[in-house]
Amino acid sequence: MAYILYSISFFLLVLATALYITRNRWLPMLPLPNYIYTRLPSSFAGDMESGLSSSAFDLSANLAAGDSRAGLDEQGKMAVQKIMKSRRVGFDEARRIYTEQRFAKNNIGPDGLPRDPKFVSFS
């Protein structure tokens, strides 16, 4: 009886260790509820502290000017944060992926031109 208990305990320990080591692979695949991402900051200072700023998308000018707006768009912040966590990319890359996803949803190509066959462009 002791061998069975020891074997089960050892198997659970090995399984838990394997899951902990490989958590970066399987954790993004779990369906997380949206309320986890609702506690994002609602000011430009909070957005900068949470990593939603870079040299290409600088929020320090907003802080220096004393901007009284509530910060970045909540839905956009949630989507960019989710991309950053699931794909393990930086802010600029996550923002690019988010923009391309929004373009694709609205039938716009990655180059910014509509994919509508009736579209006519004069340059």
Give me the residue label for tokens 């929020």. Answer: 59
**60 pLDDT band (50/70/90 cuts)?**
confident
Rounded Cα gap, residues 99 and 83, in angstroms? 11
Task: Decide if 28 contacts 53 (C-beta within 8 A).
Answer: no
At 46, which amino acid appears? G
Q: Virtual CA dihedral for 67, 81, 40, 19, nearest 10 degrees?
A: -160
Q: What is the pLDDT of residue 112?
A: 78
Crossing angle for the helix pair 74-87 and 91-105, to the nearest 10 degrees: 120
Q: What is the pLDDT of residues 3-52, one digit of tens each?
A: 899 999 999 999 999 999 998 888 777 776 665 555 555 667 777 777 77
Q: What is the pLDDT of residues 70-118, one digit of tens each?
A: 667 778 888 888 898 888 898 889 989 998 999 988 888 888 788 888 8
